[in-house]
Structure 1
Amino acid sequence: MNADQQHMLDLFRAAQLGEPAPPAPGRGDWQAVREFRTWREFRAVVDENTATRRTRWAALLRLLRPATRLRPATRTIGAVPARTPAPSPSAARRDAVQESAGSRADVVGRPAQCG
């Protein structure tokens, strides 16, 4: 018997006995989760060991998830760009020759032919 069938049976019994209808299945699930969270937070305050243990677990989990703290820094708006060395004179001549030959550099700086 699934939850819906049990609920229908409970509705029938409540109607026969003249009692109020029971709540639908799943209706109070989130309320139960909120009550459990509140109870757990209360126990953490009352029982200092629980709060200490939870803090230690959180620290351990932070260490075990290195991907969240070792990601490479992304460029942000207003960030100072990194200094690049000045191009050598031969590189400047090579770029001028490539531009005049109808090619241009792609995203990573390699020469790419255009149209």
Structure 2
Amino acid sequence: MNAAQQHMLDLYRAAQHGESAPPAPGTGDVEAYRSFRTWRAFQAVVDERVAARRARRAGLFRFLRPAARLRPAAVRPPAVRPAAARPSAVRPSPAQDTGRRVPDACGRPAEC
């Protein structure tokens, strides 16, 4: 018998006895996963594993990219965005309702 069949049987029994229906299978799975993930993150901070992991990762990246340590930051050329990637002013189309709506960055109407 799978979980759906067991749930249908429990619903039938609850209806026969005049009790409230049991929750559907899998109802609290996401909440349980999130609480477990939050607890693990808290335990990592308490046990100081986060700081140790960051130190190991920084050491690994230093080992893998030794040239990055030798180059000063001033030698690197500044990052230049192409003209096509720069944001431009987006004008709303005349078909859009301008009463309560204003255009967002993509030109779509957004609620005020």
TM class by smaller structure: 0.3 to 0.5
| Higher gyration radius (CA) | 1
Normalising to structure 1: TM-score of the pair?
0.40
Normalising to structure 2: TM-score of the pair?
0.41
**Greater helix fraction, Structure 1 or Structure 2:** 1
Structure number with the bigger relative contact order (C-alpha 8 A, sep ≥ 6) is 2
